Amino acid sequence: MAVSQGICLLGATGSIGTSTLDIIAQHPDRFHLVSAVAHSNVDKMAAICERFAPRSVVMTDADAAEQLAQRIAHLPVTVASSADDLDAIVSAPEVDQVMAAIMGFAGLRPTLAAIRAGKRILLANKESLVTAGKLFMAEVAKHEVLLLPIDSEHNAIYQSLPQSQQGAMLKDVDKLLLTASGGPFRTWSMAQMQDVTPEQACAHPNWSMGQKISVDSASLMNKGLELIEACWLFGVTPEQVDVVVHPQSIIHSMVSYNDGSVIAQMGNPDMRVPIAYGMTWPERVTTQVAPLNLFQIARLDFEAPDLTRFPNLRLASEAWYAGGTAMATLNAANEVAVAAFLQRQIGFLDIAKVNEKVLELSPVGQVNDLSVVFAADEQARTCAAEVIASRSYT
């Protein structure tokens, strides 16, 4: 019988966190929750502490940490809130695996701390690779950690490669085929998308996700970030990755080989599958996800992405080729633009316009250390806020 693995869950109250906890609950003999991190959702974190009894939790919002400490005072759980506390819990000796599911740029620092502590990394935070891919992968190699991608697309590619070799393009692979649902506006015209509301953008047809990632999916920025992530994970360039719009989200991604073969990973859209695969690799466990019924699916459709209606995918490729801090700049601009859209300060189509303007205005620096990435991120956020305030993106 496998020894129970200690899990540190970064982003415990989000959708990935919820699915991870479900896998832990299904396999209590294999996994136990050592620690958990969230921003400010006291109710959800209190429920997690009651059910899974972690040793320590971090709420990155100090007021939320204080409220949680009072709420669970009867439990033997340490509650903290500082960045140093966050680094400490991912590095704790009783932690075997770290699920890196904190949304956005905020997930970079604790994930790097977990790598340096030699933990198995279950990477659900694509922004870590987007903003600091060169440094990130260098740390993975230096500390010889096992990095398993949790995004369904990258997890599918990982499963479709022989030996699941990360970090190097295999000589017999022709292309990686990264699938995209197309989001809720796949068939909409530019005129129709002009008046999109946040509620419409967050209504993904296939996946249950948070607001920010749902908007990114609707604008195809999520696929752009995944394109950059795939380049770092598998040692390829955007020319070696084809984005394929596949509305049913049944084929999660594919690998095309130079002999004409294509290997695909398929399944019902449920994040418990890639999460369980990452947690138990190289084994597999049950997930309570319904098996795929091909007769019920009946058909699978594929189409090319429209870069005119969804320019964020083009911007991601351009940022990759620009190199250096360009990818961190794009990510920061997009986070600011999406937040502004959700607050109804700009329109849906303005998100890509803001991103392009910030890329145009921001110098590209060489990423030699993490401080450069943080500086580029801060500068891009300031620039994006100014661009939005002045409406200079129009």
Q: Determine if residue 210 is labeled as part of a ligand binding site.
A: yes
152 is in an annotated binding site: yes
The answer on whether 222 is annotated among ligand-binding residues is yes
Whether the CB-CB separation of 383 and 361 falls below 8 Å is answered with yes
**CA 388 to CA 393: how far, in whole Å?**
7
Is 283 known as a binding-site position? no
223 is in an annotated binding site: yes
Check whether 15 is labelled as a binding-site residue. yes
State yes or no: 217 annotated in a binding site: yes
Question: Who's near 250: CB < 8 A, 6+ residues apart?
Answer: 266, 267, 268, 269, 292, 297, 300
Among 107, 154, 11, CA closest to 373:
107
DSSP letters spanning 199-224? HHHT--SS----HHHHHHHHHTHHHH
Angle of CA points 62, 64, 66, to nearest 5°: 70
Stated as kind and residue range, the H or E segment containing 9 is strand 5-10
The number of beta carbons lying within 10 Å of the beta carbon of residue 187 is 10
The answer to whether 125 is a known ligand-binding residue is yes
CA-to-CA distance for 177 and 303, rounded, in angstroms? 12
Q: E strands within 69-111?
A: 78-80, 97-100
Tell me: is residue 4 an annotated ligand-binding position: no
Q: Is 142 within any annotated ligand binding site? A: no
- The answer on whether 14 is annotated among ligand-binding residues is yes
Is 181 labelled as part of a ligand binding site? Answer: yes
Check the annotation: does 126 bind a ligand. Answer: yes
127 marked ligand binding residue: yes
Residues annotated within a binding site for Mn(2+): 151, 153, 226
Residues annotated within a binding site for 1-deoxy-D-xylulose 5-phosphate: 126, 152-153, 181, 204, 217, 222-223, 226
Residues annotated within a binding site for NADPH: 13-16, 41, 125, 127, 210
Residues annotated within a binding site: 13-16, 41, 125-127, 151-153, 181, 204, 210, 217, 222-223, 226
